Amino acid sequence: MIPPGRSLKDVILGHPLPTQLEKSQRLDTLRALATLSPDALSSIAYANQEIYLGLASAGAAALVYSVPIAGVIVLLLIILTLSYSQTISAYPRGGGSYTVARENIGTNAGLIAASALLVDYILVAAVSLTAGVAELVSAFPVLASWRVELALLFLIIITWINLRGLQETGSLISIPVYLFIISMLMMLTYAGIRFFNGSLLPAASTFKPEHSAAAVGIGLLLHTFASGCTALTGIEAISNGIGIFKPPEVKHARQAMVGVATLMTILFLGTIAVGQLLGITPVPGETVLSALSRQILGDGFFYILVQVSLLAILIVAANTSFAGFPRVASILARDGFLPHQFANLGDRLVYSNGLLFLSGIAAVLIVAFHGDSHSLIPLFAVGVFLAFTLSQAGMIVHWYHDRNSGWWLKAAVNGTGAIMTAAAFVIIAVSKFLDGAWIVGLLIPLTALSFRRVHRHYETLDQELAVFEQPAAPAPMSTPRVVLPIAGVHRGVQTALQYALSISCQVTAVYVEIDPEQTEKVLQLWQRWGSGVPLEVVPSPYRSLVGPFLAFLDQFDESHDDGQLATVILPEVIPARWWENLLHNQAAWMLKLALLYRRRRYGKVRAIIDMPVYLQGSGHKHKL
């Protein structure tokens, strides 16, 4: 039962919020960190999994390289944290890689960075949800056949939470994020205690000299490193979403950046190192983190708690996309590279159009890839490392032009970041190319080209709608000729006819004859109610409405030598309830669409006037 005075939309999403409350809806550091960090924090679930799966293909002994690979990834993380902290200070309005690359390297570089970011955000949403379901299935195998449905259910929930607004999103997201952080830190601490007191023994090392890096294969190690780099996705989200922090935004955003990097380092290196010590190996039907927590905690309550926290963080990891995608899209829309609707704030002061678009595309990916995160991973890190590289390169140019005190040191930090992320990008693109990275490599430039196409449309629109410097003298206009299409004689037609006669004495009604048996009835009614206006009957042997009417209009205009096109008045019946539209043939709508998108003839424009008649629903009667 919907409360009086509230619509169903208000019940589901909450009351609309006035624009002046926008700043009050921003988040403190703890809640903003929870909103923007889930993707980065939760990536240990699938990044660990991919590292172990990659190395295990060369035998269990090759897993000894998991810690060195994780160490290189953490080094990249530290460089990126320093680099993006500088980006936050230099670009406090947000926009991240897109803004930096566009302002310092050029528009094309900015659009490539934006394309890479948006594609990656979509993949983050799909991968996070499917990986979360994988953790759930590891604990409850009976749910394996419901992977897709569960992922879509969680997608709907996270979309609904975000549509309710920043404050509610931050509060709700904080619970699973901090549950995950606390449970993982406690698990690693407990593992350390057990190692110390001897109740948890390291596995015997199976590494032998013949398992050197060369023997395992440099190509395999690079491929595994590329898969593990998915742990770094989402690290740029804070620089993209500075606008959600309470003032001072820069200070709080940098604090959140350091906090995320610190937690990621502890959790990522900790789980990889403990997993290697315990000799954890991938097994079908169970994730690596599930096997790790089971061996440390057993099968009891605390194991279930860790799995639930993993599921929760992976589900809300999609929230990083829901926080970042709409904001980057809104900046692109304000710059004219995406439809302007993406720049509009919804009722709850969130970019609801961007949220719904992201949710729809993520749902398509979940269904297309059958809810399998492992199939989506190869598409994952290519775009984000391309965006990283362009952002770091743009910051070098920024500091060079800035030339303030210590600019060379800042440029050196970003330069190091650019070199390392570029190298990682090449490794990921090459090693993952045949696994599906080629799809993203094709999609990113195509998306950038579509941005250009949208921008060209808006430029053309501005040129064509520009106001003349000297307004032209209004041309004298004669009384318009009016054409009134009718499908019958009813109150709506009568209202439209009265209006037509009020603006012109040259009115012609047109009836397209689809059913000849009805023609005589229409003629009789028109003779009584048509106010002396002539009625033209246009035969339609193939029962088409639009074609014969347009042909009549052309002939009608050509037969008059008054230098203008006839004005068309369309009577349109509007039912009382939305579903009642399905009971009508939408003839007025089809005619309006055909007239609107018919190009102007001879440099002239045809006026189209819509005359709605609103039905009151059952219980109301009207006489013609």
Query: Range with the lowest mean pLDDT among 257-266, 437-446, 492-501?
Result: 437-446
Nearest to residue 481, comparing CAs of 551, 563, 410? 563
Query: Range with the lowest mean pLDDT among 308-317, 400-409, 604-613?
Result: 308-317
pLDDT of residue 209: 45
Q: Which long-range contacts (CB under 8 A, 24 or more apart) does 194-198 make?
A: 194/296, 195/277
- Residues 220-231, mean pLDDT to the nearest whole number: 80
Query: Range with the lowest mean pLDDT among 3-17, 250-264, 316-330, 335-349?
Result: 3-17
Token pair 């279930």 in the structure block, residue:
304
Band (25; pLDDT cuts 50, 70, 90): low
Answer yes or no: is pLDDT of 505 > 80.
Answer: yes
The rounded distance, in Å, linking the Cα atoms of 333 and 490 is 45
Q: 325 Cβ partners below 8 Å, 6+ apart? A: 118, 121, 122, 125, 354, 355, 358
The rounded distance, in Å, linking the Cα atoms of 385 and 268 is 19
Report which of residues 430 and 204 the model is more confident about. 430
Report which of residues 59 and 587 the model is more confident about. 587
Answer yes or no: is pLDDT of 53 > 90.
Answer: no
Report which of residues 80 and 8 the model is more confident about. 80
Nearest to residue 120, comparing CAs of 369, 325, 375? 325
Q: Phi first, then psi: what are they for 469, rounded to 5°?
A: -60, -45
pLDDT of residue 473: 56
Asked whether the whole model's pTM tops 0.85, one would answer no
% of the chain exceeding 90 in pLDDT: 22
- Residues 23-31, mean pLDDT to the nearest whole number: 73
- Please state whether 14 falls in left (phi above 0), alpha (psi between -120 and 50) or beta: left
Report which of residues 342 and 218 the model is more confident about. 342
pLDDT one-digit tens code per residue, 63-98: 788 888 989 989 988 988 888 888 888 888 765 788
Handedness of CA 134, 137, 141, 146 (dihedral sign): negative
Nearest to residue 323, comparing CAs of 92, 161, 176, 181? 161
Question: SS3 breakdown of the chain: % helix, strand, coil, rounded to 5?
Answer: 70, 5, 25
Listed in order, strand segments (DSSP E) in 94-148 are: none
Reduce the DSSP state of residue 539 to 3 states and report it. Answer: strand
- Residues 511-526, mean pLDDT to the nearest whole number: 90
Answer yes or no: is pLDDT of 173 > 90.
Answer: no
Band (357; pLDDT cuts 50, 70, 90): very high
Provide the mean pLDDT of the chain. Answer: 82
The full set of domains in the chain, from first to last, is: 8-457 (1.20.1740.10), 481-614 (3.40.50.620)
Report which of residues 211 and 539 the model is more confident about. 539
Report which of residues 229 and 523 the model is more confident about. 523
- Residues 149-168, mean pLDDT to the nearest whole number: 82
The rounded distance, in Å, linking the Cα atoms of 227 and 49 is 9
- Residues 350-357, mean pLDDT to the nearest whole number: 87
The string over 41-64, giving b where at least 16 C-beta atoms fall within 10 Å of a residue's C-beta and e elsewhere, is: bbbbbbbbbbbbbbbbebebbbbb
Question: How remote is the C-alpha of 413 from its chain's centroid?
Answer: 31
Q: 345 Cβ partners below 8 Å, 6+ apart? A: 19, 22, 351, 352
The rounded distance, in Å, linking the Cα atoms of 320 and 324 is 6
Band (429; pLDDT cuts 50, 70, 90): confident
Assess contact for 418 and 426: CB atoms under 8 A.
no
pLDDT of residue 624: 40
Assess contact for 537 and 553: CB atoms under 8 A.
no
Assess contact for 570 and 534: CB atoms under 8 A.
no
Report which of residues 507 and 234 the model is more confident about. 507
Report CA-CA distances (Å) from 601 to 32, 356, 482, 525, 567: 56, 39, 17, 35, 14
Report which of residues 498 and 322 the model is more confident about. 498
DSSP-assigned letter for residue 466 = P
Q: Compute the half-sphere exposure of residue 116: CA atoms within 13 Å on the CB side of its CA.
A: 28
pLDDT of residue 532: 92
Report which of residues 335 and 174 the model is more confident about. 335
Element (H, E) at 333: helix 301-334
Query: Range with the lowest mean pLDDT among 49-58, 138-147, 215-224?
Result: 215-224
pLDDT of residue 186: 93
Question: How remote is the C-alpha of 322 from its chain's centroid?
Answer: 7
